[in-house]
Structure 1
């Protein structure tokens, strides 16, 4: 079925099929989400995620037998149980899906005020649905002959930004007519991103300064840093700039890493161990923020506000405040719109 604005080009011969009016596409991309919390939905999602060589780069002959038997035999049950504690029952979807859709809707509205229907804004997931290939095909069919691919990761990492870009590029390989494309650069040190983070901290805490603010970033094997991945350095800079922007006393903000998986040494300190150690040292009031996540998800709503909170409280901590991700906060959406505007230069 042709797009609603499809028409036959002026230069086309008789009988030429209608073509949609050319437009610029903006495709937001996030990590992904299972379709449900049942065993098979979780297994499909985890299989796709943990089979990604950007995420787990062990040799396939060594990794796949372990993944397909031991890990995928057990982990879908525990992951499903964790997801059920945060699941959006009303819409029957994960919070990441709900929030990413809200971000997309809000950004679409802002960009429409500037460019009308010249821009099409959609979102896709690296793992699960809506899939990147299906969304790219739909956007091209609607007339997008230029696409800005916007992976929603402030700090670049191979297992996040790079694999999202890989999926987008592979989607282009299946098209007869490829759109021109641009990818968004990491924005870990943008002043408007740092301002949005600081505003979220100040808003959540109501002007109160806790004994410690823990900036908890998603972890990765330390080996990746030694092999050239810039993620660790970008995380450190984000935390430093946030500390400078808040203007709090020196030593108030700590940088840690969460979501450790497997036997390897990961980037340290580990958040769950660090908050417990703070409590044992007599720190009773902390706040935790997750600057690497653009939207609240299982790692923030269940891991930080569950496992990590409990580790702090069990070790003697008294006041634990979780600072939500930027989500669809207007300041965050305005920043995203500015990034898009910079990346469509010469296209609109």
Structure 2
């Protein structure tokens, strides 16, 4: 295996200068900056079979996501799952694909969030803070964006996985990839990671505002709000101590308190079950059917674990889960979009960022 070439500083950058007190022939280096690197789950480059296979192989080979021994899991993954699943997943992505930009909605929205956060921080800190984004799986990779920030003169990087609640399979693996990227840097920047922000008042308030807008615009008030979170195997909670389950339930409780609702008006469920194991329950796809059968013919669903709409919300919730509800006799299904680049959401994220930049700016 060849050695990794260190990142080269961008000595041609417009703000490159000779360091103070350096010799006159010292090469110019970029002005020192602070990088804020936003991170999201990832996205395939396209919806064709091979693009989907590459993306799914990277995602499902992550030991944080599927922790079975490689000798047991990889033959199943490479021989069976990645023969069948890319076509099915590609069709699902195709149903929500942003054809104009030729990218997934997650990529589009993450770019919009980055632009909005960059503008907000730029108005306060000027060019002292550089904001960019990366994906844990697919492109742009975490490694490429860390290298870019170092080349542009970032001597400090704040790494911000855009997940409100902590799970090893989300924040944990995103941080792992960030730390691996730092290992390849000859001149490592100082670094910080952002803790989960599910209980921050600004985030809960932004979430509550989106619910209030959704209800105000609904033709009929929903009987109940289903807060659907991405699932995890129960084993991760019971054996590994992952706090995700607790973080999700606390998010729902804080949202309920902020809205001033009764416990009967809101509940927590989990979606996206994969494989034969028991996952966190109740399962959203089953619970919406139970609600319809119990007489709650009008429901709303939101996804507080996702900072941006993606395949799990636009296709799974708004198509598969909606179909389960209607098939069981449900009548009015309201999906309340993720916070995306909503002004209150961007303001909440900026507050989290500024708190974590304390002492650096």
CA displacement, residues 135-183 of structure 1 (integer Å, 9 cap, x when unaligned): 0000110010001100000000000000000000000000000000110
Counterpart Cα distance in 2 of 1:231 and 1:250: 21
User: How many angstroms does 1:75 deviate by?
Assistant: 0.4
CA RMSD of superposed structures (Å): 0.9
CA displacement, residues 268-293 of structure 1 (integer Å, 9 cap, x when unaligned): 00000000111111110000000000
Structure-1 residue corresponding to 2:6: none
1:346 matches 2:359: yes
Structure-1 residue corresponding to 2:237: 225
Q: Which moved more, 1:13-22 or 1:259-268?
A: 13-22
Counterpart Cα distance in 2 of 1:207 and 1:91: 29
State which of 281, 285, 303 in structure 1 corresponds to 2:316: 303
Structure-2 residue corresponding to 1:127: 137
TM-score for both structures, normalised by structure 1: 0.99
Counterpart Cα distance in 1 of 2:296 and 2:349: 36
Task: Report 1:1-348 matches (<5 A).
Answer: 2-206=12-216, 209-226=221-238, 227-348=240-361
User: How many angstroms does 1:229 deviate by?
Assistant: 0.2
Structure-1 residue corresponding to 2:3: none
Counterpart Cα distance in 2 of 1:248 and 1:278: 18
User: How many angstroms does 1:16 deviate by?
Assistant: 2.4
Q: Which runs of 5+ in 2 are unaligned?
A: 1-9
CA displacement, residues 26-55 of structure 1 (integer Å, 9 cap, x when unaligned): 000000000000001000000000000000
User: How many angstroms does 1:14 deviate by?
Assistant: 4.2
CA displacement, residues 193-224 of structure 1 (integer Å, 9 cap, x when unaligned): 11011100011121764101000000000000
Counterpart Cα distance in 1 of 2:94 and 2:260: 39
Distance 1:80 1:207, change over 3 A: closer
User: How many angstroms does 1:11 deviate by?
Assistant: 2.7
Counterpart Cα distance in 2 of 1:275 and 1:336: 31
User: How many angstroms does 1:13 deviate by?
Assistant: 2.9
Counterpart Cα distance in 1 of 2:30 and 2:149: 11
CA displacement, residues 74-117 of structure 1 (integer Å, 9 cap, x when unaligned): 10000000000000000000000000000000000000110001
CA displacement, residues 243-264 of structure 1 (integer Å, 9 cap, x when unaligned): 1111123311010000000000
User: How many angstroms does 1:295 deviate by?
Assistant: 0.1
Aligned to 1:85, what secondary structure does the other structure show?
A: helix
The question of whether the paired residues in 2 share the 8 Å contact of 1:3 and 1:141 is answered with: no
User: How many angstroms does 1:134 deviate by?
Assistant: 0.3
Counterpart Cα distance in 1 of 2:328 and 2:352: 42
User: How many angstroms does 1:232 deviate by?
Assistant: 0.1
Q: Which moved more, 1:205-214 or 1:131-140?
A: 205-214
Counterpart Cα distance in 2 of 1:230 and 1:163: 15
Distance 1:43 1:207, change over 3 A: closer
Q: Which moved more, 1:330-339 or 1:203-212?
A: 203-212
Counterpart Cα distance in 1 of 2:350 and 2:101: 27
Counterpart Cα distance in 2 of 1:246 and 1:267: 25
Aligned residues: 348
